[in-house]
Amino acid sequence: MDLTHAAKPRNILYFIFHSLPLALFAYVAYLAQPGSSVFSWHPPIMTLAFAVLMMEAICIFTHDLGLLPEKAKGWKVTAHWFLQSLGLFAAGFGFIAVYYNKDLFSKPHFVSWHAWIGLATIGMTILQVGMGLGTKHAYWYRYFIKPVRIKNSHLALGIVTLFLSCSSLILGSASAWFQRESNASFAYVFMAVCILVHWLAALNTLSTHKKRLLGKAGED
- Kindly indicate which of the ranges 38-46, 58-66, 79-87, 203-211 contains the residues binding ligand HEM, using the contact rule CB under 6 A: 38-46
Q: How far is the CB of 153 from ligand HEM (least distance, A)?
A: 22
109 counts as binding ligand HEM under rule CB under 6 A: yes
Stretch that binds ligand HEM, among 42-50, 61-69, 129-137, 151-159 (CB under 6 A): 42-50
Give the whole-angstrom CA distance, residue 131 versus residue 157.
9
- Told to check if 62 binds ligand HEM by CB under 6 A, we report no
Per CB under 6 A, does 110 bind ligand HEM? yes
How many residues form the binding site for ligand HEM (CB under 6 A)? 27
d(CA 206, CA 202): 6
Residues in Cβ contact with 23 at an 8 Å cutoff, skipping those fewer than 6 apart: 193
Q: How far apart are CA 127 and CA 174, in angstroms?
A: 27
CB nearer to ligand HEM: pick between 132 and 172: 172
For residue 35, is it left (φ>0), alpha (ψ between -120 and 50) or beta? left
Q: Is 43 in the site for ligand HEM (CB under 6 A)?
A: yes
Helix (H/G/I), strand (E/B), else coil: 85: helix
Signed CA dihedral, 182, 185, 189, 190: sign only:
positive
Quickly count: other Cβ atoms within 10 Å of residue 56's Cβ: 23
Report whether 24 contacts 53 (CB < 8 A).
no
Residues 173-212 that bind ligand HEM (CB under 6 A): 173, 175, 177-178
| Residue selected from 11, 37, 78, 112 as contacting ligand HEM according to rule CB under 6 A | 112
Which of 62, 161, 168, 208 touches ligand HEM (CB under 6 A)?
A: 168
Residue 163 interacting with ligand HEM (CB under 6 A): no
Q: How far is CA 112 from CA 38, 97, 172, 198, in A?
A: 19, 17, 10, 23
Is there binding between residue 158 and ligand HEM (CB under 6 A)? Answer: no
> CB 169 → ligand HEM: shortest distance, Å?
5
From the list 59-67, 82-90, 94-102, 139-147, the region that binds ligand HEM by CB under 6 A is 94-102
Question: How many CA atoms lie less than 13 Å away from 128 in the CB half-sphere?
Answer: 27
Cβ of residue 179: shortest distance to ligand HEM, in angstroms? 9
Residue 11: other Cβ atoms inside 10 A: 10
Q: Which residues bind ligand HEM (CB under 6 A)?
A: 28, 42-43, 46-47, 50, 95, 98-99, 102, 109-110, 112, 114-115, 118-119, 121-122, 165, 168-169, 172-173, 175, 177-178
